[in-house]
């Protein structure tokens, strides 16, 4: 209940800054799934945009700086975009764990009777990425799956 949460809030504040009590049992899990859905579909747009920019012959660092400051700006493009350009796919969050979370979100959406085709697409792309041997890389390694799909690379260096 709210009173119990308020009593332990000082402990939570030691662990983070953006603290929200989302409600009763399950509300936090649903909030996490909302986050994962947003990241999954945003990640597709980010890597597709970078693939497009690369194929168009643009300087990827300059492109990230330009679009990252506008309406297309996001934490992902501004923080993970440069890491993709550098071919640094070290995990902040593992692909294999992301696949698990997307599976939970897809199961819950089915139970709720809602269609989430973007999430289903992202899930399949990440399953393909894992099948390519990249399950222990970060979620931004989705670039590797789309590069394979398109037979292109954003850099001459190996991941």
Which stretches of the chain are DSSP H helices?
2-13, 27-55, 60-68, 75, 81-85, 95-112, 117-129, 142-150
**110 belongs to the catalytic site:** no
Q: How far apart are CA 28 and CA 144, in angstroms?
A: 31
List, in order, residues 6 or more apart from 13 with CB less than 8 Å away. Answer: 19
Active site positions, annotated: 32
């Amino acid at each position: 209940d709210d009173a119990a949460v308020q009593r332990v809030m000082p402990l939570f504040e030691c662990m983070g800054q953006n603290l929200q009590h989302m409600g009763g049992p399950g509300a936090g899990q649903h909030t996490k799934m909302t986050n994962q859905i947003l990241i999954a579909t945003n990640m597709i747009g980010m890597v597709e945009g970078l693939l497009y920019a690369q194929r168009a012959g643009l300087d990827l660092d300059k492109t990230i700086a330009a679009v990252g400051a506008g309406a297309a700006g996001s934490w992902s493009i501004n923080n993970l975009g440069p890491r993709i350009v550098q071919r640094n796919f070290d995990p902040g969050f593992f692909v294999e764990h992301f696949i698990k979370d997307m599976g939970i979100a897809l199961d819950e959406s089915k139970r709720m009777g809602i269609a989430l085709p973007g999430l289903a697409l992202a899930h399949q792309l990440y399953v393909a990425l894992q099948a390519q041997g990249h399950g222990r890389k970060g979620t931004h390694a989705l670039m590797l799956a789309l590069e394979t799909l398109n037979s292109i690379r954003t850099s001459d260096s190996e991941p």
